[in-house]
Amino acid sequence: MADDARNLTGVWHGLYTYPDGQSVSFVATLIDSAGALSGSTHEPGVGTDAPSSALYATIVGRRGGSAVTFRKIYEGQMPRYRAVDYAGTLNAEATEVEGRWTIPGVWSGTFLMIRPGRQEESAERKATQQA
Tell me how many domains the chain contains.
Answer: 1
> What average pLDDT does this structure show over 37-64?
85
CA nearest neighbour of 5 among 75, 67, 93: 93
CA nearest neighbour of 95 among 124, 115, 80, 122: 115
Neighbours of 127 (CB within 10 A): 9
Please give the residue range of the domain that contains residue 120.
3-130
Contacts of 9 by beta carbon, 8 Å cutoff, 6+ apart: 30, 31, 32
pLDDT tens for 57-102 read 999 999 999 999 999 999 876 666 789 999 999 999 999 999 999 9
As a residue count, the chain comes to: 131
- Among 26-40, 88-102, 110-124, the minimum mean pLDDT is found in 110-124
Burial class (CB in 10 A: 0-12, 13-18, 19+), 96: middle
The reported pLDDT for the residue numbered 81 is 73
- Among 10-19, 24-33, 50-59, 102-111, the minimum mean pLDDT is found in 50-59
CATH of the domain at 85: 2.40.128.120
